[in-house]
Amino acid sequence: MNIVSLLRPEAVKSVSTVSSKKMLLHALGDLSANVHDLDHETIVRALQERETLGPTGVGHGVALPHARIAGLNEVKAVFIRLEKPIDFNAVDRQPVDLFFCLLAPENAGVEHLKALALVARTMRDASICAKLRANNEPETLHAIIAETQRVNQAA
């Protein structure tokens, strides 16, 4: 499994109009619906339910919202970079501007956990996050994320 297989270029977006957690979850739902042909309301509901279990804001301005979705046959991802960070109830209580969202089949089990671990390792790298924050073009954001995969494979 690699990030490039999870995150297609069209699944990356920079957004300036989101100012709340609710709006962000809807933006993730919109992007997932458009790119992966999923039902917007199903995605938003699943992400909201997951957020009630505990924060997916992992700190340092990063959140990893994720949910299991009935009918999916593989793990899929979307990425949103906000121009202005929002309160997302992160564990360090800092606002969040980088959202790497994973959607997994209901019975994904190990595959979901592997994807989450891969994304968490990537987004834990401060230099990657700095590059993502310095750019707002979706193509560039995807290239930065894809490059981390190539660097990690070479190491």
Active centre residues (catalytic): 66
What's the first-to-final CA gap in the chain, in angstroms? 16
Secondary structure (DSSP) of 29-47: HHHHHHHH---HHHHHHHH
CA dihedral 137, 139, 140, 144 (to 10 degrees): 140
Parallel, antiparallel or unpaired: strands 12-15 and 76-86? parallel
Query: In whole angstroms, what is the distance from residue 98 CA to residue 86 CA?
Result: 10
